[in-house]
């Protein structure tokens, strides 16, 4: 099993799509926004930069 899958499951998600849905919901963002950001960043950034960006309302902070 992939390490990323284990990370998603540790957060209560069954897969990456569930994780993105949860992240969008928790931060009051549209799912499509979170999906777009996730695609731009790549899966390895799901638990780092993507979370930070979502916590700042979907805006990239320099």
> Helices H, strands E: what count in the chain?
4, 0
Residue-averaged pLDDT of the chain: 85
Q: Is residue 60 situated within a structural domain?
A: no
**pLDDT score recorded for residue 9:** 85
Q: For residue 34, what pLDDT is reported?
A: 93
Tell me what pLDDT residue 28 has.
94
Quick: pLDDT tens for 9-29: 888 888 999 999 999 999 999
Establish if 45 belongs to a structural domain.
yes
* Tokens at 45, concatenated: 């950034």
Q: What pTM was computed for the model?
A: 0.78
Distance CA 53, CA 1 (A): 28
Q: Residue 61: inside a domain, yes or no?
A: no
Residues 6+ apart with CB under 8 A from 27: 34, 54, 55, 57, 58
How deeply is 34 buried, as exposed, middle or buried, from its count of CB atoms within 10 A (0-12, 13-18, 19+)?
buried
List the domain range (segments joined by +) for residue 37.
3-55
Asked, for residue 41, whether it belongs to a domain, the answer is yes
Whether 62 is in a domain gets the answer no
pLDDT, residue 58, reads 73
């Amino acid at each position: 099993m992939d390490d990323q899958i284990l990370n998603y499951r540790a957060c209560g998600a069954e897969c990456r799509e569930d994780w993105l849905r949860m992240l969008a919901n928790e931060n009051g963002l549209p799912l499509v926004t979170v999906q777009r950001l996730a695609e731009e960043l790549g899966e390895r950034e799901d638990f780092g930069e993507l979370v930070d960006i979502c916590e700042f309302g979907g805006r990239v902070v320099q």
